[in-house]
Structure 1
């Protein structure tokens, strides 16, 4: 990866400074963890928006079980490893998840406003799933089937966390939708990566397919609501300028994009 050119970076920061937000002043949930854009009562309500997860004996549950079986042979493969990488939502690692699809590096250094946009929207999309998640307390597939999952160190925590809907899938699809607005010329790549990010939860054996589908519904609802927030809209525009400057400067993703493409190949 090549850092932003000095001239491009100076122009970018000058544009952001004009009426811009001080990133150091972003509110925090706790030290080092930025708050989302939406207040708790402004987030979409997953318990009102989603139907119950598939019941025993239904065709929908049979589809979930078949999807889990089809993912089984991927264990130990490059796709399995990518699913483990996609499970990481902590920054700075998570910032680069969509960098290959976007075609530029995404980091606090290279794209500070985009980096913060991803961090804050993660909170909004992820927390939008929790009313239904806590209400239904659906058992995760690795628990129900007693088969391996790709982030074994998290097993004890995930066993106690409801499976439906998938918070990771909500976050990944929300990021894909937001990034598509920032760089519509790469919409197909970004949306495909967002879909794959959600499917990583099925590959990882920590979510059923219906969990992932419901997560995408919550992502769409959250992004729609975010557009009514003026701070989000302003940050979206600043992030768009950052990406344009990074592209003009010839910056390249730091991830191994060839390996990612190979892992996602049909």
Structure 2
């Protein structure tokens, strides 16, 4: 996850905890028609104009409890990370360009590569519930990575190997930003999981796109392969939690209706 976005998400996590402490949990009320505007949902933080997730801060999966420590130097897992790094150096110009595009988490760019796969727009006025479902689930996936990310502060591959990245403007900040687990990967895998639920007949290509979205972080040399695997674990755990959230359920059902009408 780009360091600037990560810093703003961390600020948002602190704000969410403060809201929870004051009794203002984000999903305390069930509505038959969940909001579809950022103004109605509320922001993660003043610095980051993302809509809040569905889950209260204490309802998020504990990434520190779910994940092992990142691979240690000299381990077989670290050797596999190094092999994946070496392989990334041979990426084609086309794959490098895709990885650069995948680094951009701004809405609606972040879902643009998924739209051809589901054969419909995901961010236009005809799909307000679909768009908000995806945006809020993204936020939950990103926020759920922080416990482990903040604890381990793993050094990123481009720092260890003194190599370039596909986002040179982020490099200075990323040098002091933890690598494990990958927030970008958690977001991409969450998008894939939500969309396979909405369009199950396209699950194979959607999941492949979700996987490639995370692998783009390896291509960019800002995450190790094991960072991306851990990001998918956190996304899956968060997605499982969302299945019991009544606001998520209501918005998912409305999104399914929107997608069915479009298809």
5+ unaligned residues in a row in structure 1: which ranges? 1-17, 248-266
Greater length-normalized contact order (CA 8 Å, ≥ 6 residues apart): 1
Distance 1:134 1:67 in 2: 24
1:27 equivalent to 2:42? Answer: yes
How far did residue 96 of structure 1 move? 1.7
Q: Which has the larger radius of gyration?
A: 1
**Which residue in the other structure is 1:72 paired with?**
89
**Which residue in the other structure is 1:8 paired with?**
none
1:44 equivalent to 2:61? Answer: yes
Check the 8 A contact 1:165/1:211 in 2, yes or no: yes
**Which residue in the other structure is 2:78 paired with?**
61
- For residue 166 of structure 2, the aligned residue among 144, 150, 165 is 150
TM-score (norm 1): 0.83
* Structure 1 vs Structure 2 CA RMSD: 1.4
Check the 8 A contact 1:92/1:108 in 2, yes or no: no
**Which residue in the other structure is 1:189 paired with?**
205
1:121 equivalent to 2:137? Answer: yes
How far did residue 98 of structure 1 move? 1.1
Task: Give the match's secondary structure for 1:23.
Answer: coil
Distance 1:59 1:196 in 2: 23
Task: Give the match's secondary structure for 2:44.
Answer: strand
> Where has structure 1 moved over 6 Å in runs of 4 or more?
none
| Mean CA deviation greater in 91-100 or 156-165 | 91-100
**Which residue in the other structure is 2:24 paired with?**
none
TM-score (norm 2): 0.84
Distance 2:129 2:201 in 1: 20
5+ unaligned residues in a row in structure 2: which ranges? 1-30
Check the 8 A contact 1:95/1:115 in 2, yes or no: no
Distance 1:57 1:22 in 2: 50
Task: Give the match's secondary structure for 2:58.
Answer: helix
